[in-house]
Each structure stands twice: as C-alpha cells, then as structure tokens.
Chain A
Amino acid sequence: MHTDSVTRLSPPVGYGGLAIALVVASILSLSSGAYPVAVGQIIDMALRGFSDDTTARFVVLDVRVPRLLLGALTGAVLAVSGALLQGLFRNPLADPGLIGVSSGAALAAVAVIVLGGSGLAGWSQFAGQWALPLAAFAGGTMTTLIAWKIAHQQGQTSVALLLLAGIAINAIAGAGTGLLTYYADDSALRSLTFWSMGSLAHARWADLWVAGPWMVATLLIAPLLARPLDAFLMGEPVAGHLGYSTNWVKRGAVLLAALGVGAAVAVTGLIGFVGLVVPHLLRQLFGAGHRLLLPACALGGSALLVLADCLARVVVAPAELPIGLVMALLGGPFFLFLLMRHRFA
C-alpha cells in the first residue's frame, strides 16, 4: 500500500462528490431504459401516489426501482468486501473472488443449471425458482469456509495460507465448472454463459427481500472492522500488540465478504472488477485508512454499478448487455490505465 502524490480529498468533499454521483446515477437509472418514461412523468406519477395502473407505473415501480436498489446494494457490497479483503491481505490486488466466493457460487449455480433436470432434479423441484440463488449462496459461503478451515491451524489463521488455499480451491471449483460445462446441453450452455456474465435485468422485489438483508448486514457491520484493519496495515503482529484480536478481525472480514458477496452473486450472477477497482481507486483519493475508505467504497461501488447498469440497458435496447460484461469492458482498460500510470510515473 503506497502513499501517492495524488492530492487527498477532504472527507466532506469526497463523500459529497460520491453522494452526488450516486443520486445522479439513481435518477438516470429510474428514467433510462428501453421503455420511454421521462423524469417529469415519474414525478407526476409519484405525486399522484402511483395510483394509475399503467405500463409506465409497472416499469418504474416493478422493474426499475428493484433493479436500482439491487444494483446499488450489490455495487456497495462488492466494493466494501473488496476493500475488507485488500486490507486483510494487505494487497491492492485482492478481490472477493480470492477467497473462493465467486468460484464456489459459480460451481453451484452451473450445477443447478446443468443438472437441474437430472442429478439435481429433486433440489430443483423442492426449491423451485430459488434453487439457483440458494445453491449459489451456499456454494459461495461453503468454499470460503473450506479455504478458512485449511488456513486455520492450531488456533491461528495464516493469511498467506488463506490466500493460497483460496487459489487452489478456485482452481478446483473452476475445474468442476468446466466439467459440468462440458456435459451441458445447448440450452444449459447458453443459460450458464449468461449467468457468468451477470445481470441486474431480472431483479424483482422478491430477490431484494431474500438477498437484501445479508447485503445490508454486511454494509452495516463492515465499519466495525475499520480500526482493526488500519492496525493490520502495519502488520498482523502490530495489530495484535495494539490489542486487537487478530483472529476475530480475519474471521470477521472473511465472513462478511463471503455472506455479502455470496448473496449478491446469488441473485445477479458474476460481476467482476467492482470489488477490485473501486477500493483501489478510492484509496488514492481518500487514503488507506478504512474508516474513510469503507463508506466511500459503499457509495462509489453503488454509483458505479448503477451507472454501468444504465449503460447495459440502453446500449443495445430493446435488448440488454450483461452488466458483468459492461463492468469488464469499462473496468479492464481503466485498471490497465492505473497500472500503466504507476509504471511510468
């Protein structure tokens, strides 16, 4: 974690800017999309208490609002989890995928998609439309738990071992996903391709009620870890000497990231780069201290994902781009730019 020559923002200016970005993104999100609904029309409808039963009302209340909320929560959770793990691993390249959440969720989701009609038919029957999100959530948290168990020896958790275990488990889960993909028929293949590119397009209120509480909990609890994580930046022994229970910090950060990201991935599919780029970028503006960084990541992650979702739905309207694809298209080159700038600075 290096201190940059970039001028740090004063917190009020920084938070203000991010909040404005989020509000602008939200207004854009409510008023943009394939179905034409102007901002004035929304205000009009709101003033009349959304009493008339029109398609415009349906589009705004049942399509765009849940989509906006899910996008904002997902963006916030991904960015905050990224910041937690980057702090824990003391590595700006860490992201929620590192501890196996994404690959575990992907393995479970692909298993449901491919085997839903055969090997896992019982589960699909039992859980109905929730078969995939529940499996993905379980898969994501379980893989993280396994990585944790491997790294946790004699009452101590080695961060380096956690990282390596995560990499190994990612490889195994990836192989499992690959094997299932090989056996997938044409329709399953298309479905899993779309799932792995992430989408907010199918967000409903029901998804929000199920996944939302986990994500909100992650966002509310994460700030408690800010001070201990700051101490972690000086090294684990220092944090211990400062009186923090390092095991609890590690457990908390991993658990929060697993639950929050697991819930997000379960309903949106895989969305990359938010967890990597947002904390990385905001650290340069707000400094490495987590007390400022974590709330900034929540705001910045929300604004970025909501904005990317606006793009996803208008670029090829009336069709839609998967948002994971949009994030990778925007995030990849941007991240490269950041790296190059350091390289030649």
Chain B
Amino acid sequence: MRLNRIHRTTALLILWAIATVAQTAPRVISADGAITETIVALGASEQLVGVDTTSHHPPDVVDDLPRVGYLRALPLEGILSLEPTHLITTEEAGPEKTLERVEKAGVDVTQLPVARTPKQTIRRIRRVGALVDRSDQAATLAQRLSEDIQRIRNQMASKQSARVLVLLAAGNHGVMLAGKNTAANALLESLGLTNALDHVSGYKPASRESFLAAAPDAVIIAEASPGQFKPKEWPALTRLPAWQSGQHLTENAMFLLGFGPRLADAMAALASVVPEREATAHAH
C-alpha cells in the first residue's frame, strides 16, 4: 500500500514536471521545408523537436532532428512519440484522418495555406512567427523580404519579357518539365516572366523535342540534390541558344521553389539569367 502511494506521488510529480516544462517550452514539429526554414530564420530552432523529409535547410539544424517521414504520409504514433505541443504544416499534409487524430491527442495542429506568391509567403512568415512566439522577428523578416522582392522587381524593368524553361530533376522520376499550375510557374509569375511551356499543366516527363520547340530565352534547372542534373546527358538542352549564351542556372529545388524566407534570393538568382533588354538581339 505504502509503496503504491509513493509510486502515485512520484507519478504525479513527474506529470507536474512534464506539464510545467510543456508550458514553458513549446515543442514544435514542422512538416514542410519552407516552414522549417522560417522557424529557424526566426531564431526559434530550439523549439523544433522533429521535421518531415521535405525539410533540408538549414542542414546544421535539421540534420540533427528526428524525421517523421513525408508530409503527405505522416505517422500518427511517430508524431506523438516526439511529445510535440504543436504540429505546423501546410494544407498539403496528410492523411487527413491522421491529422485529426493527432489533434485529438492534444497536439495543436496548424495547417497553413500553401504559399505561391510573394504576398502569401510574407503572410505565412507572419503566421509562423505568431505560432512560435516570434512575432516581432517575423515582422522584421517580412519587412526585409518584401523590400528585397520590390528591389528585384524594379530591376526587372530593364529585362526582356523572357520565356523561361524550368526543368525539375528530382527523385528517380528523371527530369520533368514544369508547366502551368506548378511552384516553378508561380516563381516565374512573381517576376512577370512567361513559362516557355505554358501549354503543359503540372510536371510532365521531359521529352527532348518539347523543350527544343519551346525555344526558351533562359533555362532554370531545379534539382533535388546537388549534382543530380547532368548537362552532359542532355545535349539537346545544352545546344539551345539560351544555354550557349549562358542564360541558365542550376539550383536546389527547395531553394528555388520553396516560397520561404529565401524567396528574394531565389527570385534574384532567376532574374540574373534573364537577358537584359539592350543585350544581343533575339534569335527568334
């Protein structure tokens, strides 16, 4: 009996300690690469207890964190095992019923809208700031980001209204063409550029002919991991006038298409390969 009472007291003490710690230190799982980046950029990385497999940046923070899998196939028990207080993710996360049950288990689940424009990106940064109690930092970051974006947009005035081809080299799907209704297309639109493949919708397997026919003024390659895209295997691409004149860029897909705190840098990188207005005459 006495032993039992001691046990019960200890258990209560532990529960109380957990409750206090939980109150003072939020434990956040971020299931989206851009949201993870934002949390880190806001100086709240010590709140992170887990991330999903789309979170790669910054590596010095996320590489040490447990991974709960892909954001569309989140594991219920895996999430609960990290004892989170918050799960911050996007509307793309799933399965829905798992998220409902995570919430039922007492975790604060927030599904933020997917950001596909600078405006949405800035709004999302502010919302993440409020969620991790870094609203002031978020306001500063949002302000800086919108100024940077405005500056890049101003520079675009001197550029041609270029047609840009975006290729995505990710996973074992090979190389995909980015058409309409993609993050790549949204990035082009943010700079007032035209997608050279505006007759394609979504990501489609790349045929060499299709991008020759597209006759782009610039080529962007978004690769999931460094060195994944091998230009040597794509002679039809490297023979394009745009490639020959150096109007091409290969960058990390998450950096280019994440619509996170690095959006201005991504837009600047894209803008850098768009030819100037007074540059050499158009080939077409």
Contacts and interface: CB of A to CB of B under 8 A. Distances in A.
B94 interface: yes
A317 B97 CA distance: 20
Contacts of B72: 187, 190-191, 194
Contacts of A318: 50, 66-69, 75, 77-79, 81-82
Nearest to A184: B202
Contact of A319 (B67, B80, B92, B101): B67
B113 interface: no
A55 B101 contact: no
Contacts of A35: 77, 80-81
Given A191-B72, A204-B101, A34 B95 contact: no
Given A185-B202, A186-B203, A202-B97, A59 B80 contact: yes
A320 B69 contact: yes
A185 to B, nearest CB: 5
Contacts of A194: 70, 72-73
Interface in A30-50: 33-36
Contacts of B73: 190, 194, 199, 201, 320, 322
Interface in A158-198: 185-187, 190-191, 194
A187 B77 contact: no
A34 B202 contact: no
Given A55-B105, A58-B105, A129-B97, A319 B77 contact: no
Interface string B94-114: 111110010011100000000
A50 to B, nearest CB: 15
A58 B75 CA distance: 14
A117 B193 CA distance: 29
Given A58-B105, A191-B94, A318-B66, A185 B81 contact: no
Interface string B53-95: 1000000000000111110110111111111000000001011
B77 A202 contact: no
B98 A202 contact: yes
A313 B181 contact: no
B26 to A, nearest CB: 16
Given A318-B68, A319-B68, A313 B101 contact: no
Given A185-B181, A190-B70, A319-B68, A204 B97 contact: yes
A194 B53 CA distance: 14
A185 B78 CA distance: 27
B181 A33 contact: no
Contact of A129 (B67, B96, B104, B106): B96
B81 A319 contact: no
Contacts of A62: 101
B95 A202 contact: yes
Contacts of A317: 78, 81
A129 B181 CA distance: 26
A63 interface: yes
Nearest to A67: B77
Interface string A222-264: 0000000000000000000000000000000000000000000
* A55, A63, A191, A318: most-surrounded residue (chain B CB, <10 A): A318
Nearest to B52: A319
A302 B176 CA distance: 42
A33 B67 contact: no
Contacts of A201: 73, 75-77, 98
Nearest to B173: A189
Contact of A55 (B53, B70, B75, B80): B80
A317 B106 CA distance: 21
Nearest to B204: A182
A204 B76 CA distance: 11
Contacts of B67: 316, 318-319
Given A204-B97, A316-B69, A320-B75, 10 more contacts: A59-B80, A129-B97, A185-B203, A187-B92, A199-B73, A201-B73, A201-B77, A204-B101, A318-B66, A319-B68
28 contacts: A33-B77, A34-B75, A34-B77, A34-B78, A34-B81, A34-B82, A59-B80, A62-B101, A63-B101, A185-B203, A186-B203, A190-B72, A194-B70, A194-B73, A201-B73, A201-B76, A202-B95, A204-B97, A313-B77, A317-B81, A318-B68, A318-B69, A318-B78, A319-B68, A320-B69, A320-B73, A320-B75, A320-B78
